[in-house]
């Protein structure tokens, strides 16, 4: 059976890109955090199903709730970076991006006492015009990125990018692991999780998870959805229809 990567973006409701015009970052500290409660719900479900996952955590969250990072790491999950404060790569210069991913990684490694080797750009914002981001990540010691959406979204996307894990840098082992997609005719559709999975009929979802060209898939969710997980049989059932592991484990242990 193919093992696919299960990933969780750890952020709070007021940090999503769609709210950026209405909730400036200088107001974030005024909001009560819900991320701890939501992640606790996700951790309980993963423990029940005996599944380990990758948690892409904002440095802003880690700095304010370091105990949450320790708890995630203590339960055997992979700690990875989601940047510092959810700024899309498209909003940063190369120098600012380098500082962002360096700062978040240092905080996460200090708190978790372990290496941070993976990165996910907020809103999958590495695209054809920001390929320089891969070089910066590799230079800083990251081993992989999961930051490309190989389809067209209204806010992001890199149509035509490879649909499965690929090496964007010549002569480098650095990997890009895009969110999973499925082909319907000439269309490449998102099927990786969160709101995207709602566009795929329920009977098709398990097939999309693990049988897309017989390669491992990468599924994702966000901590914001944690409080609804317990009331959503479909999400719970999906965890038993596939075999999952952290992203780094999937990359290091390809199928026979």
Residue range 225-237: mean pLDDT, rounded: 49
Instruction: Measure the CA–CA gap between 135 and 219, rounded to whole angstroms.
Output: 24
Structure tokens at 192: 């990786």
Neighbours of 240 (CB within 10 A): 11
| Half-sphere exposure of residue 115: CA atoms within 13 angstroms, side-chain side | 8
Q: What 8-state DSSP symbol labels residue 17?
A: G
Degrees, nearest 5: CA angle 26-142-100: 20
Q: Which residue has the higher pLDDT, 234 or 153?
A: 153
Structure tokens at 50: 């005996």
Backbone angles phi, psi at 143, to 5 degrees: -100, -20
Q: Which residues lie below 8 Å from residue 27, measured CB to CB, with a gap of 6+?
A: 14
The number of distinct structural domains making up the chain is 1
| Alpha-carbon distance values, 201 to 113, 198, 206 (Å) | 41, 7, 10
Q: Over the stretch 161-183, which tens digit does the pLDDT of each residue have?
A: 998 899 999 999 999 999 888 87
Q: Cβ distance 216 to 250 under 8 Å? A: yes
Q: Residue 148 forms beta bridges with which residues?
A: 125
CATH number at residue 176: 3.20.20.370
Q: Cβ distance 140 to 98 under 8 Å? A: yes
Q: Over the stretch 176-207, which tens digit does the pLDDT of each residue have?
A: 999 888 877 778 777 776 544 444 444 444 43
pLDDT number for residue 109: 98
- Domain with 235 in it: 3-252
Percent of the chain with pLDDT over 70: 79
Residue 145 has pLDDT above 90, yes or no: yes
């Amino acid at each position: 059976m193919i093992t696919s990567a299960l990933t969780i973006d750890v952020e709070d409701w007021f940090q999503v890109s769609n709210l950026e015009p209405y909730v400036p970052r200088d107001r974030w500290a005024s909001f009560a955090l819900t991320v701890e409660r939501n992640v606790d719900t996700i951790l309980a479900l993963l423990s029940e199903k005996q599944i380990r996952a990758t948690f892409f955590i904002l440095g802003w969250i880690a700095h304010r709730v370091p105990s949450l990072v320790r708890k995630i790491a203590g339960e055997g999950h992979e700690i990875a970076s989601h940047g510092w404060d959810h700024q899309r790569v498209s909003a940063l210069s190369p120098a600012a991006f380098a500082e962002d991913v360096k700062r978040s990684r240092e905080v996460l490694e200090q708190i978790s006492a372990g290496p941070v080797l993976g990165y996910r750009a907020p809103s999958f914002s590495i695209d054809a015009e920001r390929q320089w981001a891969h070089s910066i990540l590799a230079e800083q010691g990251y081993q992989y990125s999961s930051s490309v959406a190989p389809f067209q979204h209204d806010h992001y996307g890199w149509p035509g990018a490879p649909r499965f894990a690929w090496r964007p840098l010549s002569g480098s082992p650095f990997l890009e692991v895009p969110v999973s997609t499925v082909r319907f005719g000439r269309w490449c559709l998102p099927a990786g999780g969160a709101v995207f999975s709602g566009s795929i009929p329920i009977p098709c979802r398990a097939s999309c998870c693990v049988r897309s060209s017989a390669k491992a898939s990468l599924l994702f969710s966000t901590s914001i959805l944690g409080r609804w997980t317990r009331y959503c049989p479909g999400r719970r059932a999906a965890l038993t229809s596939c075999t999952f592991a952290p992203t780094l484990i999937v990359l290091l242990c390809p199928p026979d």
